[in-house]
Structure 1
Amino acid sequence: MIRLFKHYIPHAVILLGLIDLALLVFAGDFAWRLRASQIGMDPGAIAARGWQLAGFAGIILTAMIAVGVYGADALRSMRFATARLLVAISLGVIALAFVDFLFGGQNFWRSTLAYSMVGAIALLVLNRLVAGGVLGASAFRRRVLVLGAGQRAARLRALADRPESGFCIVGYIAMTDMTPDIEESIARSAISNLTRYVENLSVSEVVLALEERRNALPLGDLLRIKTTGVHVNDFSSFIERETGRVDLDTVNPSWLIFSDGFSSGRAISSAAKRLFDIAASSLLLVLSAPVIVLFALLVKLDSKGPAFFRQTRVGLYGQTFDVIKLRSMRTDAEAAGAQWAQKDDPRVTRLGKFIRKVRIDELPQTWSVLKGEMSFVGPRPERPEFVAELEQQLPYYAERHMVKPGITGWAQINYPYGASIEDSRHKLEFDLYYAKNYTPFLDLLILLQTLRVVLWHEGAR
C-alpha cells in the first residue's frame, strides 16, 4: 500500500486510477478532434486545450471516487463497476455542463461532452476488462510471512482470501509448541536460518501474529530480517493499515501511545477545517433553506407534532449540545425511554422513511456546524444515555470524543447503519482510526464518498 497523508491506499487502486486518468484525457482529446473534423475546424495543439482536458479528467475522476468506483465491491465485480462508472460519468458530465453555463464560456461544448462521455465509458470499461485480472493477480500483491499460527494468523488468512486483498500469505511459522490453528504452518525449530528462509520466499513483509509474546518474541531474528530491507510489522498496525480501522480485540494502551497518530501538530489543519465548515455550512444553509422549509411543511401535514425536534448529543471532550433535525418519527417514539433505531422501525412516519433515506432530515444539523458544535466530518454524536452504557462496555470509547463530531464520518461510509452494542463496537474501530489518522485529505475522501452512501442509501435506517 501507498501511504498518502497518513492514509493507506492499495497499489492496485493507485495504478488503476492513474490509467483511468490517462484514458479520460485521451477520451476528451479524441472527442475534441472528432468534433473539429466534423465542422471543418483545425483542432489545434493539445497544449492549447490543456486546462479543458485537465478539468474534464479531474471532475470525472472525482465523481468516480465519490460514487465508489474504486471501492472493494467495484474492484471485484465487473457488473458493479460498470453501473458505478455510468453514474459517475453521467454526474461528471452534468457538472461540466453546469460549470460551462456558470462561467458563460464555450470550453465544454455539449457535442464534445457527449462524445467524451461515450468514449470514456468504453475506455474505462475496457480498462477494467483488460487490467482487472492482472491487478487481482498474486504478482501484484505483497508477499507476507506470518510469524504465528494461532487465531490471529487465522484472521490474517481470512483477510488475505478477500478478492480485493492487496497481499498474499506465503507461509506461517508456529513460534510456540501450542497446537496450531493453521495446519500448514511450519514449526520454528524446523527452520535453521529464518533470515535466509525469508529471502528464499521473496518476502516483502513479516507480520508478528503471536497470541502470547512472552518468551516467544524472536528479537534477534526480527532484527536481522529488518536489516535486510524486509518490512516488519505487528498485528494491530497491519490490521489498521489493511482494513482502515483500529482492532479493539488486540490493541492495547501502549500501542495507542507509541504508534504513529494522534498528532499534536494539527493547529493549521484544524483552523483550515473550521474555515471550511463556516464557509460550507453558510452556503449550504442558504441553498437548502427552501428544501428544509418544504419538507418541514410536509412533515407537519404527514403526522401530528412539530416539524423539527431537538435531541441532546455528546460532542467534543464529552460536552453536550442539542442537534436539530427534521422529525422523522412519531412524537411518542420514545415514550418508553431512549431506544436504538431498528430496521423497518415502526416508529418512523411515512415521510420519515423517505427523508431518512436521502438524508434530508440531517440538513438542519448544518446549523450546529456553523455554531462550531459539530463539523461536517467526524464521529457521529451519540446520546448521553447510550454513551454512558457504551463507555462501560467498550474500551477506548471516550477517545472518540477527542475530535469534534460530524454529520458524516469514516464509520458512516465504511459500516452499514448499526443499532446495537456490537455495531457500536465496529463503528468505534473506524472512529478511532479517523481520530488517530485525521488529515484534511481524509476529510475530503469522506466527503466525496458520502455521495455514494446517499445515492445508494447505504446505512440508511
Structure 2
Amino acid sequence: MRRLYLKQLLLLLGDVALLYATLTLALTFRRFSLPSWDVWQAHAILFTAIYAVWLVSFYSVGLYDLAKIWPQRSLAATFINTLAFNTLVAAAFFYFAKGRFTLLSPQTILLLNVALFGIAWYAWRVVFSRLIAAQAFLRPLAYVGSIPSSLEMFDTIRANPQLGYRLALIGSFHTRSVAPDDHDVLRITNPAGLVPAILRHNIKTVVMHFPDDTHHAFREALYQALAQRFVFIDSTAFSEMVTGKVHVSAIGQAWFLHNLTEGSKRLYELFKRAFDIAGSFVLAVISLPFIPLILLAIKTTSPGPAFFTQWRIGQNGRKFLAMKFRTMYIDAERHGPQWAQKNDPRATRVGRFLRKMRVDEIPQLINILRGEMSFVGPRPERVEFVQELTKDIPYYQERHLVKPGLTGWAQINFPYGASKADALEKLQYDLYYIKNRSLILDLTILLKTIKVVMQGSGQ
C-alpha cells in the first residue's frame, strides 16, 4: 500500500511541477521574454492559493485514483469539467482580490496557464500510465498455499498494474484452478522446487495462505528459507491491501480480536468528535439560507410533511431516529420496507434531485450533534433490514462497533446497496474502514464524497 501512496505522491508532485512550469511559460508568452524573479515571485505567491484549491478538487473528483488513471474518456471529461470550474473560481478570486490583496490582475496569465497546463497534464498522464504499467516496474509476486474460493485478489492484481505487482508464481497442489490461460505464471506443485524457483525468478514477496495442514510441505519449505529474507505477507492482509476490503469468507472471530484494537483509537475518537461538532455547526450555517427553498419545493410538489424520520441502528446496536428531508411519496411503503434502488419509483421529482445531490441528508446534522452519527462511518441501516441481514450475513453486527456516518468507505467504493449480496459487499468495505479508520482515511473519504455531490451520483 505504501508503494501505491508513493505513486500517487509522484503523480501529485508532477502536477505541482507542471503548474509552476506552465505559469512560467504563460508569463514568458505574455511578455515575450523570461519574467524577472520579482515578477515571477509575485505571480507565484498569488497563484499558489489557487493551485492549492485546484489540487484538492482534483483529488476529490478522483484524478489521483490510480485505478482510473488512463486510458478512460471519463477521466479526461472529469479533468476538463473540474479545470473549467476551477478557472471560473480563480477568475472571480482575482477580480475581488485586486486592490484588496494584490495589485495584479492576471486574468490573461490565468487563461494561458490553464491552456498550457491542460496540454501538459494530458501528456504527463499518458507517460505516467505507461510507466506504472511497464513490466520492468512491476514487483514479481509468489502465492503459496491453498487457493482461495474467491479469485478476486488475482483478478485485481492482473487488472491493476498501478498496484505495482505481477503474479509470477503459484505454489500449490491445486494450481489449475487459477488463470488456466495465463501462461506467464509459473506453477509449482512440488514443494521441493518452490524455493529454487522463487530464487531463480528473483521474487522477493511471498503471499501465503495456510488455513489448514493441506499444504504443510509448502509451509515447511518457506520456513526453511527464512535466511533468504523474503517478504512474507498473509493472504488476508494482502487481499485487504489490494482490494480495499476485508473478505468475510477468509476471516473468523480471531481476526476481530487481532485487528480491532479499540483502546488505541481513543485519541482519534476525541478528535473525530470535535470535528463532527465543529463541522456540523459550519455546514448548518452554510445550509441555512437554502433550507426554506428546499422546504418550499417539497411542500409545493407533493402532499405530506417536509421532514421524514426513520428508526435506524447506530453504534452498539442502539436505535435512533434518523432525520431527512422527505424524498418519497406518502405511503410509498404501504406494502412493507423496500430496498432503495436506482431511479427509485417511490421518489418524488424533487426527491430524486435531493437524493442525487445528497441534500436530503442535511437534517442529519442534528443526529451528528446529538452524537448518534458521525460525518464518516458505515451507513446506518433500517431496523427491519438489520434484523434480516444479521441472520444471513456473518459478522454483519460488527459494523455497529462504530458510529454510522453520512458518508463512508463503502459508500464511495460501491453503489447504493439494493440486495443481500450488495449488503455483504458493503460489509466488507465497512470492516476495512473499522480496522483502518484514522483522521487521514476520514479526510480521504470526505474529499471523495465531494465528487459524489458534484456529479449528482447519490441515490
TM-score (norm 2): 0.89
Which residue of 1 is the match for residue 187 of structure 2?
Answer: 186
Which residue identity is paired with 2:51? A
Aligned pairs for 1:265-344 (under 5 A) are 265-344=264-343
Which residue of 1 is the match for residue 440 of structure 2?
Answer: 441
Which residue identity is paired with 1:186? R
1:23 positional shift:
1.4
Which residue of 1 is the match for residue 26 of structure 2?
Answer: 31
* Counterpart contact for 2:268–2:438, Cα < 8 Å: yes
Which residue identity is paired with 1:162? A
What is the alpha-carbon distance in structure 1 between the residues aligned to residue 128 and residue 221 of structure 2?
Answer: 38
Task: Classify 1:88/1:391 alpha carbon distance in 2 versus 1 (closer, same or farther; 3 Å).
Answer: same
* Counterpart contact for 2:409–2:445, Cα < 8 Å: yes
2:20 corresponds to 1:21: no
Aligned pairs for 1:391-406 (under 5 A) are 391-406=390-405
What is the alpha-carbon distance in structure 2 between the residues aligned to residue 262 and residue 420 of structure 1?
Answer: 31
What is the alpha-carbon distance in structure 2 between the residues aligned to residue 149 and residue 434 of structure 1?
Answer: 27
Which residue of 2 is the match for residue 221 of structure 1?
Answer: 221
* Ranges in structure 1 where 5+ consecutive residues have no aligned partner: 4-8
* Counterpart contact for 1:97–1:110, Cα < 8 Å: yes
Task: Classify 1:383/1:253 alpha carbon distance in 2 versus 1 (closer, same or farther; 3 Å).
Answer: same
Q: Which moved more, 1:40-49 or 1:350-359?
A: 40-49
Which residue of 1 is the match for residue 169 of structure 2?
Answer: 171
Q: Which moved more, 1:107-116 or 1:299-308?
A: 107-116
Aligned pairs for 1:83-102 (under 5 A) are 83-97=77-91, 101=96
Q: Percent identity?
A: 33
SS of the equivalent of 1:249 reads helix
SS of the equivalent of 1:290 reads coil
Which residue of 2 is the match for residue 44 of structure 1?
Answer: 38
Which residue of 1 is the match for residue 127 of structure 2?
Answer: 130
Aligned pairs for 1:51-130 (under 5 A) are 51-52=45-46, 54-71=48-65, 74-97=68-91, 101=96, 104-106=100-102, 109-130=106-127
Which residue of 2 is the match for residue 389 of structure 1?
Answer: 388
Which residue identity is paired with 2:435? K
What is the alpha-carbon distance in structure 2 between the residues aligned to residue 75 and residue 365 of structure 1?
Answer: 34
Q: Deviations over 1:181-211 (max 9, x none)?
A: 134663442744x333222212131112456
Which residue of 2 is the match for residue 147 of structure 1?
Answer: 144
Task: Classify 1:378/1:29 alpha carbon distance in 2 versus 1 (closer, same or farther; 3 Å).
Answer: farther
SS of the equivalent of 2:190 reads helix
Which residue identity is paired with 1:14? L
What is the alpha-carbon distance in structure 2 between the residues aligned to residue 200 and residue 254 of structure 1?
Answer: 36
SS of the equivalent of 2:168 reads strand
SS of the equivalent of 2:167 reads strand
SS of the equivalent of 1:413 reads helix
Q: Deviations over 1:347-388 (max 9, x none)?
A: 111211111111111112122222222111111111111111
Which residue identity is paired with 2:245? R
2:249 corresponds to 1:249: yes
Q: What is the aligned length?
A: 450
Which residue identity is paired with 2:8? V
What is the alpha-carbon distance in structure 1 between the residues aligned to residue 429 and residue 328 of structure 2?
Answer: 28
SS of the equivalent of 1:348 reads coil
Q: Deviations over 1:57-88 (max 9, x none)?
A: 33222111101112356313242322122233
Task: Classify 1:128/1:165 alpha carbon distance in 2 versus 1 (closer, same or farther; 3 Å).
Answer: closer
Task: Classify 1:156/1:407 alpha carbon distance in 2 versus 1 (closer, same or farther; 3 Å).
Answer: closer
Q: Which moved more, 1:150-159 or 1:61-70?
A: 150-159
SS of the equivalent of 1:126 reads helix
Q: Deviations over 1:215-256 (max 9, x none)?
A: 526444333545433211122111100011111121222233
Which residue of 2 is the match for residue 417 of structure 1?
Answer: 416
Q: Deviations over 1:126-146 (max 9, x none)?
A: 101222212212222221111
Task: Classify 1:350/1:47 alpha carbon distance in 2 versus 1 (closer, same or farther; 3 Å).
Answer: closer
What is the alpha-carbon distance in structure 2 between the residues aligned to residue 422 and residue 60 of structure 1?
Answer: 38
Which residue identity is paired with 2:298? V
Task: Classify 1:122/1:382 alpha carbon distance in 2 versus 1 (closer, same or farther; 3 Å).
Answer: same
